Structure 1
């Protein structure tokens, strides 16, 4: 069916305007993303030397295999002192509680039946003793909402201009909530997933020195 010339003439400006609008929508996010990425680099620069803090909150670790879930949860006190840290988890009554002390040379897990476990690798000792798969090497960076130095990473940003998701080393970390009263802002919820494993942190307080 042929459209009348008059109708075509009236519709043409609208079609052109729609094309221009679509092009603007496509190009704008690229500019926005570059700006947000620069802001993230500035955050990472400010947080690069943040290596003394006490984080208090809750942790939950889950592994779902063949439809069955296994893991644990508890309150968490994470004390970072330079390149060393203590990771204290207190579970509910009847659940596991432990203290993980880590330095660049060794890791010691205490508080479980059978006595302390020692290893040169914190992730290995936690995996062997608890069955928890926790990316401790990268988590120190991710918990601050910054990229770890272990390899390439992809970022997406929320409407607040802060990271919404971070994908690195096979893990996807989402940031549902931030403490924006701090400068720079730090996350208060950190959910990391690498199926079948997931780690969820809910931060109740940050004490950054």
Structure 2
């Protein structure tokens, strides 16, 4: 596939998530007050008690410095405590499955044999050109602040996080499922040059 058509294919894949343009943040933001901070803390405490969840949707990733990290595809992410299974199909030139727990990780689908390592992020960086903080992303997809680093949250008029900035990443929450209590994000855009991650969740399952 030529570079021109590869770029077009990438754009078409990401179009389902972001229209290949930079979309404005969700609605207007409001000044942070004690009530908003308390509500977010309560929401985070409730969701941190959920150790078994699954999301299904679409994932798009772009890396301006390494074309291996560019693509989009369907995503299934299942988390059970520290154990996870992260499966992406289509759009990256291969389907892959990343699984593991606190003891190590296994990446399948990139080569002929599974690749094993102690660190999932290092595995993905070496094999696929990604440098995405998976441990932090686990918190961010739920609309939570990750542990271990200061974070700043800007709230929307719906009193839910609109932008979360942490560890050099800017995480924008473009849509929420307000039918759930606590509410859960359905469109999450995260960026830290040269990386951009676009996640569109079609279904959440919490147990």
Q: Deviations over 1:151-204 (max 9, x none)?
A: 110000001000000011110100000000000000001111001111111000
Q: 2:45 matched to which residue of 1?
A: 45
CA RMSD of aligned residues (A): 1.8
Shift of 1:88: 0.4
Q: 1:203 matched to which residue of 2?
A: 201
User: Which structure 1 residue ranges, 4+ long, deviate > 2 Å from structure 2?
Assistant: none
Contact 2:171-2:191 at 8 Å conserved across structures = yes
Contact 1:179-1:187 at 8 Å conserved across structures = yes
Gaps of 5+ in 2: 1-29
Residues 1:157 and 2:158 aligned together: no
Q: 1:193 matched to which residue of 2?
A: 191
Contact 2:68-2:129 at 8 Å conserved across structures = no
**Alpha-carbon separation, structure 2, partners of 1:57 and 1:50:** 20
Q: Which has the higher contact order (CA 8 A, sep 6+)?
A: 2
Q: 1:56 matched to which residue of 2?
A: 56
Q: 2:7 matched to which residue of 1?
A: none
Q: Deviations over 1:55-98 (max 9, x none)?
A: 000111111139x8951211000011111100000014x82210
Higher helix proportion (structure 1 or 2): 1
Q: Deviations over 1:20-64 (max 9, x none)?
A: xxxxxxxxx66x522111110010111111120110001111111
Q: Secondary structure at the match of 2:33?
A: helix
Shift of 1:120: 0.5
**Alpha-carbon separation, structure 2, partners of 1:34 and 1:198:** 32
Q: Secondary structure at the match of 1:114?
A: coil
Gaps of 5+ in 1: 1-28
**Alpha-carbon separation, structure 1, partners of 2:205 and 2:69:** 31
Matches within 5 A, 1:1-209: 32-65=32-65, 71-92=70-91, 95-209=93-207
- Whose radius of gyration is greater, 1 or 2? 1
In the superposition, the TM-score normalised over structure 2's length comes to 0.82
Aligned length: 178
**Alpha-carbon separation, structure 2, partners of 1:193 and 1:86:** 23
